[in-house]
Amino acid sequence: MGILSSSTLQITGLQSISVVDASTGSGPVRVIELKMAGSTIGGLDLLDPCVGHVRMHTTATQQQASGGLTMDATAVQITVLGVTIILAAADLPVGALTLPGVSLPPLPTDIGFTSVKIYVLTISSGSTGLSGASIAPVPC
C-alpha cells in the first residue's frame, strides 16, 4: 500500500465518495473510493509499497490528473475548515459515505482540502503530469 501526503488536494468534478470492497490478489479490501473528473495536488509526497526491501519515493511541487480519476484508499486523513478528519474504510459500511451522527450536505463538485494523507490501494486516471518531480528508491 502506498502513502500519499500533500499540503493541498483540489478535487474537480467530484462524482462520488463511497465505501466499496475492492478485489485484490489476496482477497477483498474495504476502501473509500473517490471518483472525480480530475485533481490538483500541491506538495506531493508519495511512498510506494515496499517490494524487495525497496520502495520508490516520489515528490513533486504539483501533480495534475485529468480525464477521470479514481482513488481507492484504505484510510484518509484530511483537514477541512481547520478540523482534521480521519476515516478508516474498514470501520465503515459499504455504500455512500456517511459519518455516524453527522448529516452531510451534498458535497460541492469542486472542493479543496489541506494537510492530506491517504493510504492508497490504487489510483487510476486518464492522464497525469508532475511538476518539479523527484523519484528515488529508498530502503524499507
66-102: pLDDT as tens digits: 999 999 999 999 887 778 888 899 998 898 876 555 5
Residue 92 CB-half CA count within 13 A: 25
The residues of the chain scoring below 50 in pLDDT are none
Give residue 131's pLDDT.
Answer: 95
Task: Please report, as a single letter, which amino acid is at residue 42.
Answer: G
Full-model pTM: 0.83
Contact assessment for residue 36 and residue 14, using Cβ atoms and an 8 Å cutoff = yes
Give residue 100's pLDDT.
Answer: 56
Give residue 56's pLDDT.
Answer: 95
Q: Looking up cell 475548515, which residue turns up? A: 81
Give residue 83's pLDDT.
Answer: 80
Q: Which three cell numbers stand for residue 14?
A: 467530484
Contact assessment for residue 120 and residue 73, using Cβ atoms and an 8 Å cutoff = yes
